[in-house]
Chain A
Amino acid sequence: MISQINWALVAPIIAIQVILMIIALVDLFKTEKTNGPKWMWVLIILFINILGPILYFVIGKKHA
């Protein structure tokens, strides 16, 4: 299965996910307050595939 995957095809998808993760983490360390503890958001951003960074951006940030 793994050998059949065309990595040239999947690489951009992974790259975008990594970029989103990095942006979310940078933003997380810069902001003072988030909804809920910061360490929880680190785990969510790192370990929930695709949706983690999006979740942080839309509900993790305190809109103030």
Chain B
Amino acid sequence: MKKWFVLFRKEWLEMSRNYKVIWIPLVFVLFGLLQPVTSYYMPEILKNASNLPKGAVIKIPIPSSGEVLAQTLGQFNQMGILVLVLAFMGIVSSEQRSGMMKAILVKPVGYSSYITAKWMSAVLLSGGAIFLGMLASWYYTILLIGDFPFMDIVKGISLYFIWILFLITFTVFLSSFLKSSGLVAAFTLLLSILLTLLTPLLKKWMEWSPAQLTNAAASLFTAGKIEGPFLIPLITTVILTALFLYLAGTRKSSLSRLG
């Protein structure tokens, strides 16, 4: 356990050295702040940006606070996932290429603790970033649009975070498996896009889909309660996450491909 914490601390040291600890949360806070502000100023932005004929009337109702928060979630689901996957795509594979991994594993540390330390730090950082971003969005939504219960925010973020947890785990899994960081990002993004696109299209067959968790969180924001399947996707997501983490942690043969 002590060795695991040494690896864990080394991971945080590295993430603060390349500023990931600062810029990833800041990006999420920025997107979180922008969403309520653009929703609030949207009528004005349209008035100034488009050259409509005189007398044209645009009436856009200001969305409810729950809708704005669901939009923020949608923003996180596109830009946020892109940023997280690109930031963590090389988490194992780049160390494998640079020889760092070999240097660490000659010491008496297990391959699985090496992977789980990396996984844990990536999960904690992205979880913190999403939480801070949603909190910032919640604060601005309250200021500009209207009140929203704090507990619903916490519940929504927790649900959404499980989907992110799944994607981060998949990134770490692929990164320990593939040599090219670019391929890791491409496959993970493909998976996330396919799941988010197919889930609403094939509702009947995709009830298990981890992407349902995003919909559950969004419906919690807009309707105040979770609509649609929730327990089945939660269970499959947790199982898949555990499976990918296990597979990532037990792949010792990747060492042989080093040379």
Interface residues of A (CB under 8 A from B): 1, 4-5, 9-10, 12-13, 16-17, 19-20, 23-24, 27, 50, 53-54, 57-59, 61, 63-64
Interface residues of B (CB under 8 A from A): 18-20, 22-23, 26-27, 29-30, 33-34, 37, 41, 44, 48, 83, 86-87, 90, 94, 97-98, 140, 143-144, 181
What is the CB-to-nearest-CB distance from A30 to chain B, in angstroms, rounded to a whole number? 10
Chain B, Cβ-Cβ closest to A19? B26
Chain A residues lying within 8 Å of B97, measured Cβ to Cβ, are 64
Chain A residues lying within 8 Å of B34, measured Cβ to Cβ, are 13, 50
Chain A, Cβ-Cβ closest to B29? A16
Chain A residues lying within 8 Å of B98, measured Cβ to Cβ, are 64
Q: CB distance A4 to B26 under 8 Å?
A: no
Given A20-B30, A61-B18, A63-B90, list of 17 further CB < 8 A pairs?
A1-B44, A9-B143, A9-B144, A13-B34, A13-B37, A16-B29, A16-B30, A20-B23, A20-B27, A23-B19, A23-B23, A24-B23, A54-B83, A57-B23, A58-B86, A58-B87, A64-B98
What is the CB-to-nearest-CB distance from A38 to chain B, in angstroms, rounded to a whole number? 17
What is the CB-to-nearest-CB distance from A36 to chain B, in angstroms, rounded to a whole number? 15
> Chain B interface secondary structure, helix, strand, loop or mixed?
helix
Between B26, B48, B86, B140, the greatest number of chain A beta carbons within 10 A of the residue's beta carbon is seen for: B26
Q: CB distance A63 to B26 under 8 Å?
A: no
Q: How long is the Cα–Cα vector from A19 to B24 in the complex, in angstroms?
A: 12
What is the CB-to-nearest-CB distance from B29 to chain A, in angstroms, rounded to a whole number? 6
Chain A, Cβ-Cβ closest to B40? A9
What is the CB-to-nearest-CB distance from B68 to chain A, in angstroms, rounded to a whole number? 14
Chain B, Cβ-Cβ closest to A8? B143
What is the CB-to-nearest-CB distance from A24 to chain B, in angstroms, rounded to a whole number? 8
The residue that B48 contacts in the complex, of A1, A10, A16, with Cβ under 8 A, is A1
Q: CB distance A9 to B37 under 8 Å?
A: yes
Q: How long is the Cα–Cα vector from A20 to B26 in the complex, in angstroms?
A: 7
Q: CB distance A64 to B94 under 8 Å?
A: yes
Between A13, A61, A63, the greatest number of chain B beta carbons within 10 A of the residue's beta carbon is seen for: A63
